[in-house]
Structures are given as C-alpha cells and as structure tokens.
A and B are shown apart, each in its own frame.
Chain A
Amino acid sequence: MAIIIDKYAGKLQEDLTVPTSTIKYPLGTEVVITDTTLTMRKRFKYVKAAHSALTAYVPYQIALGYTTGAEWATRAALKCTNSLVSVPQVAFASNYYGFVQIEGKCTAVGTSGFAAGDKLQLGNGLAVLSLCTTGADYAESQACAITLTSTTVATQVVNLTGYRVTCT
C-alpha cells in the first residue's frame, strides 16, 4: 500500500467551483481556505452528487456511503441527529464530484429572507433553510447556519457552522 501525506494546498482554485465527472480528490477531503476579503475562513468537503443534480445554494445533507466512488455523498435532508449540512456554491450535474461548503460565509437558500442573527436549520425533507424552532435558548443543537445580513430575499448570505446538528 502506497501512502502519501495529504497536502491539498496548491491545487487549482478553480477546483472549488468546477465539478467534474471523474474524481479528482479522495472523497471526504476537506479544504480550508481564507478569502482575503473576509475575516473568517471557509471549509469545503469533496463529495459526489450521488442522489441527484445539485442546485447552487440549495442545502443538502452529506452522508457516509459504502459504494465505491460514493463514500461521501449528498442526499436530500432526512431526520437524523448527526447531520452534516452542506451548500454547493455552484450547480452539480448528477453523479459529478466537487466541493460543497460546510463552514463559513456562503450563499444559501432559505424559506424566506431572514434577519441578521437568525439561526437556521435544515428540516426533514426540505431543500431550504428555515428558522430553528426548538425551545433551546440558543439552538446550536440544530442550527447549521446563521443569517449574516437582514434581507427579504430567500437566497441570502449565511455563516455555516460546520458542525453536526439535529435534523427534525
């Protein structure tokens, strides 16, 4: 078995925004980048658009898989307690490979526009982010993102948390 140490820096920046029909990185690879115009980092995960084509800015869950070439794959949101939410920043053709954002500032589609600071969740069966609704004062158990700027537009700028949450 030959092993090389993962050092993904230095690959083409365009790989973040251009899904491909053949795999270019090991599935599950995470890349952290610094947008020099922001004060925060962004984290992306390399996945296969396994369940369908992906629409830009639409949130999906990422699931652990067992099929060769789909060990980390997208799926429509379903009920679970350890959900990793991702938002592709570009459209993916079905079964293409590419990076989806899992942490940091990005654009995502909500059920409506929200106010800055609103905590957002991805509900079972949904393809949009909505307000967290549990009674917790600070619903980090289910908040996968927070709205960054008040807007009336459904497609809005959010800060993805990057941690696993409950999807109800």
Chain B
Amino acid sequence: MAVIVDKYSLATQEDLTVPTATAKYKLGSEIVVTDTTTYSRIRYKYIKAAHAPLVAFTPYQIALGYTTGAEWASRIPIPCTNAMVGVPQVAFTSNYYGFVAIEGKCYALGSSGYAAGDKLGLITSAATLSIATTGVTYAESATVAITLATTSSAKQYVNMGGYRAFCS
C-alpha cells in the first residue's frame, strides 16, 4: 500500500468561489484560509451539490455518502444528532462540485435578522438558520453559528462553529 500525506492547497483562489461540473479536489477535502481583511480564519469543505442546486448563503447539511463521486454531499436538513452544516457562499448548479463554508465568518440566511450574539441552529427541512432552542443552559448542542452583528436582514454575517450539532 502506497501512502502519501495529504497537503492540500488551492490551485487557484477562484476555486473557492467557482463550482465545477467535474471534481477538482478530493471530496471531503478541507481548506483553511485567512481573510486578510478581517483577519479571520475560515474553513471550507469540498462537496458535491448532490441533492439539488445550492442557493448561495442557504445552509445545508453535509452527509457522508456511498456513491462514487458523491462521498461527501449536500442534503436538506433532517433530524440527527451529529449534523455538519455547510453554507455555500456562491450558487451551485445541481451535481456540481465546490467548497462550502463550515467554520468561521461567512454570510448565511436566517429566518429573520438576528441580534449580535444570537445562537443559531438548523432544524429539519429548514433552509434558514433560526434561534437554537434546545433546553440546555447554553445551547451549543444545537448551535451551528452565532450572529456577528445585529441586523434586520435575513442574510447576515455569522461565525460558524465548525463542529457537529444536533438538528431537531
């Protein structure tokens, strides 16, 4: 068995924002970049828009798959306790490949505008983030992002946690 160590870097920066009909990176690849404007760290995951076209800034779950060429793929949110949420920062044509944001500062659609510090989750079948509502004192079990600035706009700036959360 030959083994090489994965060391991914982007071929071009545009690969973050231009989905393609054929895969350019291994599915599941994660890329961490630094936005030198905000000095923030953003982590992206390379997936296939397997279930439908992806709408920019709409949150989806990322699922482990078994079909060749769709081993890491988008899906509509379903109830689960270990959900990974990705937010495409551009639109994807159906079955295209590209990077979605999973951690750090990015834009995402909420069910409304929220206040800075509001903890947001992604519930079953929803296409927007909403206030995390589990009963624990600090709802990190269901929190996938936190609103960065108070806004009345559904499209808002959030800080995504990057960890798996509960989807009710």
Q: A: which residues have CB within 8 A of B? A: 1-7, 23, 26-29, 63-68, 71, 78-84, 164
Contact = CB atoms under 8 A, between A and B. Distances in A.
Interface stretch (B49-57, B90-98, B123-131, B142-150): B142-150
A4 B37 CA distance: 11
A120 B127 CA distance: 39
DSSP class of B's interface residues: helix, strand, loop or mixed?
A: loop
A5 B36 CA distance: 10
B159 A79 contact: no
A28 B164 CA distance: 16
Given A66-B159, A71-B105, A26 B136 contact: no
10 closest cross-chain pairs (CB), A and B: A26-B41, A81-B141, A82-B140, A6-B32, A2-B36, A79-B137, A80-B140, A80-B138, A66-B117, A64-B161
Contacts, number: 84
Interface residues of B, number: 38
Given A66-B116, A78-B138, A164 B40 contact: no
DSSP class of A's interface residues: helix, strand, loop or mixed?
A: loop
Given A1-B35, A3-B33, A83 B140 contact: yes
